[in-house]
Amino acid sequence: MKKTKYFLLLSLIPITTFLIGLWMGDVNTSPSKGLHETGSAVIPAMTNIIDSTVADQLSYTFEKAAERISPSVVPIFAEEEVTLESPYGKDPFRDFFGDDFLKRYFGAVPNQRETVHSLGSGVIISTDGYILTNNHVVENAKKITVVLEDEKKYPAKVIGTDPQSDMAVIKIDAENLPTALLGDSDNLRVGQWVIAVGNPYQLMHTVTAGIISAKGRSNIGLAQYEDFIQTDASINPGNSGGALCDLQGRVIGINTAISSPTGSSVGIGFAIPIKMARGIMKQLIDNGKVSRGYLGIILQNIDDNLVKALKLNNAEGALVGDIEAGSPADKAGIKRGDVITQFDGTNIKSSTQLRNLAARTQPGSKVKVTVIRGGNQKELSVTLGERPQKMAADQPSSKTLTNQLENTLGFELQNLTPDIAGQLGYNKEKGIVITSVASGSAAEDAGLQSGDLIKEVNRREVSTVAEFNRELSKIKKGDSVALLVQRGPNTFYVGIEVPLS
């Protein structure tokens, strides 16, 4: 791929410089001895133009961007005490030989407290010492040290951390520090040039270059709130908390993680958008914690089967799979099965987008929410609550959000008896229980499990297997059916295609 890019650049340069030469009058277009023999009279002039107008300007752009950002990106050294546990459990040799013997001949003593050193990066955001970094860089650290560009070392204290987004703010006691210019992550373009600055493998102030590979990456599994910028700029261990910048030297993301089978860069890196980081940073500095808006609903994306089964126009929006009783959404009149298409004036494309928008909204704010219910559009007003700090992720961790179905349902059902309801925790519930799921079936692909309770078929309640079969018989072969499923305390929707035979 890189060879192709270089080839395209080189193939365009002679045409460009030739046109520049025509405009400047430097290229002799008439037949001449020099041109006909080897072109030696023309090529040196073209080479000079290339050097001065294309290569130098491009290089200068990267140089200035690196020059602007590098002084404000600092290494962060963290020390953490850990317990070294024996892989064999309680070690009988330790009591007999003692710790000195084990440390001398084996290098470590099992179950001994030792200090582990780690290195990350941070971005200076104020002249008086506030530094933005990742939570995992400073989490559980007993001692944090920041080293500035002039090699002066400063102890740092944690101002606040936010594990749900993997952000943190620390501070050193210093003045007149070089600060980073924070850019705009909302208007980034895929393919845009960027540079990453950090301290990979203890190689201080390393600058790498690449492009933005994708935007809005989520469901990576790195944090509860994800809206990552993906880049192929080389990011390695030690880059965490460093800066991802545009070619103006403005920070547009905080480097966080890589996807790699080896632990080293393979061109898939992720950065937290600076707009998200900036809002979290302000709350951590002002309050020492992050308060997030809370709707109290479980959201899921809409696949093609659910579009057909629920008779929707398209797959855009966020489907409400469940609602917490007494939550802000419940009080506002949002119902299970609603499709939220707008939140505070923003069109909703996916459940992740809605989660992030709600989280960024100040608790207590009143916002307009547009929903599709039964084919009709409704506008509701919701006053957001505050999300509990230690609350689990609010969408089901199953494959129901990304179904890839085949031509069979692939599960067996049983009526819900009092004994089964007591065993599965479905007391006072109505529905039918899945007793088994065939391996490799559409049901398994959809994430259905033994013990799930089917409550509805295409929005119609079912209490017996006979009712389920009756509702299923109304569905044409090849069409999709929407099942409302309860697992534990939560419900969610699953779309499955009815087999053709």
pLDDT score recorded for residue 49: 57
pLDDT score recorded for residue 23: 39
User: Do residue 161 and residue 247 come from a single domain?
Assistant: no
Q: Is residue 177 part of a domain?
A: no
For residues 401 and 399, give the distance between their C-alpha atoms in angstroms, rounded to a whole number: 5
Domain extent at residue 9: 2-70
DSSP string, 456-486: EETTEE--SHHHHHHHHHTSPTT-EEEEEEE
pLDDT score recorded for residue 110: 57
Report the alpha-carbon angle 184-190-195, nearest 5: 65
For residues 136 and 125, give the distance between their C-alpha atoms in angstroms, rounded to a whole number: 19
Task: Compute the half-sphere exposure of residue 217: CA atoms within 13 Å on the CB side of its CA.
Answer: 23
For residues 113 and 440, give the distance between their C-alpha atoms in angstroms, rounded to a whole number: 47
Q: Is residue 186 part of a domain?
A: no
User: Do residue 349 and residue 380 come from a single domain?
Assistant: yes
User: Do residue 83 and residue 155 come from a single domain?
Assistant: yes
Neighbours of 453 (CB within 10 A): 22
- The helix-helix angle for 274-287 and 351-360 (nearest 10°) equals 30
User: Do residue 321 and residue 335 come from a single domain?
Assistant: yes
User: Do residue 283 and residue 315 come from a single domain?
Assistant: no
Last residue of one domain, picked from the residues 386, 419, 452: 386
For residues 430 and 398, give the distance between their C-alpha atoms in angstroms, rounded to a whole number: 22
CA 339, chain centre distance (Å): 23
To the query of whether residue 136 is one of the catalytic residues in this protein, the response is yes
Last residue of one domain, picked from the residues 172, 207, 234: 172
User: Do residue 219 and residue 278 come from a single domain?
Assistant: yes
Q: Is residue 489 part of a domain?
A: yes
pLDDT score recorded for residue 436: 81
User: Do residue 376 and residue 409 come from a single domain?
Assistant: no
pLDDT score recorded for residue 300: 87
pLDDT score recorded for residue 180: 94
Q: Which residues, other chains included, contact 430 with Cβ-Cβ below 8 Å and sequence gap of 6+?
A: 416, 455, 461, 463
**Which one is catalytic: 213, 240, 350, 351?**
240
User: Do residue 205 and residue 162 come from a single domain?
Assistant: no
CA nearest to 210, candidates 257, 256, 269: 269
**Which one is catalytic: 166, 227, 232, 445?**
166
- Give backbone dihedrals phi and psi of 219, rounded to 5 degrees, phi first: 55, 30
Beta bridge partners of 117: 79
Q: Is residue 183 part of a domain?
A: no
Q: pTM for this one?
A: 0.64
Distances (CA, A) of 129 to 75, 121, 136: 14, 14, 20
The tokens for 312 are 């929707």
Q: Is residue 42 part of a domain?
A: yes
Chunked mean pLDDT (size 10), the chain, 501 residues: 31 37 42 38 54 79 92 91 56 48 54 76 95 92 91 93 92 94 92 91 86 82 79 85 94 83 72 92 92 90 84 89 89 93 92 89 93 91 85 42 41 80 83 83 81 88 81 74 88 79 54
**Which one is catalytic: 136, 322, 351, 441?**
136
The two beta strands, 453-457 and 480-487, are antiparallel
The tokens for 463 are 């209490």
User: Do residue 208 and residue 277 come from a single domain?
Assistant: yes
Cβ pair 231, 212 in contact under 8 A: yes
pLDDT score recorded for residue 467: 80
DSSP string, 390-436: TPPPSS--SGGGS----S---EEEEE--HHHHHHHT-TT--SEEEEE
Q: Which helix (H) or strand (E) holds 285?
A: helix 274-287
Residue 481: give its domain's CATH number: 2.30.42.10
pLDDT score recorded for residue 100: 55
Q: Which residues, other chains included, contact 83 with Cβ-Cβ below 8 Å and sequence gap of 6+?
A: 111, 112, 113, 114
The tokens for 32 are 């001449």
User: Do residue 102 and residue 166 come from a single domain?
Assistant: yes
Pairs from 204-207 (Cβ < 8 Å, separation ≥ 24): 204/75, 204/147, 205/70, 205/73, 205/149, 206/239, 207/66, 207/70
The tokens for 343 are 């939140």
Q: Is residue 185 part of a domain?
A: no
According to DSSP, residue 150 is labeled T
Q: Residue written as tokens 């099992």? A: 110
CA nearest to 420, candidates 452, 461, 465, 460: 452
Q: Mapping DSSP to helix (H, G, I), strand (E, B) and coil, where does residue 310 land?
A: coil
Radius of gyration of the chain (CA): 30
Last residue of one domain, picked from the residues 240, 263, 287: 287
Looking at the structure of the chain, the number of domains it has is 5
Q: Mapping DSSP to helix (H, G, I), strand (E, B) and coil, where does residue 191 land?
A: coil
Q: Residue written as tokens 């991802």? A: 244
pLDDT score recorded for residue 94: 46
pLDDT score recorded for residue 17: 40
Residue 104: give its domain's CATH number: 2.40.10.10
Q: Mapping DSSP to helix (H, G, I), strand (E, B) and coil, where does residue 147 land?
A: strand
Q: Which helix (H) or strand (E) holds 356?
A: helix 351-360
pLDDT score recorded for residue 111: 59
According to DSSP, residue 55 is labeled I
Q: Is residue 219 part of a domain?
A: yes
Q: Is residue 282 part of a domain?
A: yes
Would you mind telling me the total number of residues written for the chain in this entry? 501
pLDDT score recorded for residue 220: 67
For residues 451 and 488, give the distance between their C-alpha atoms in angstroms, rounded to a whole number: 9
The tokens for 242 are 């460093």
Q: What is the dihedral of CA 420, 422, 426, 430, to 10 degrees?
A: 60
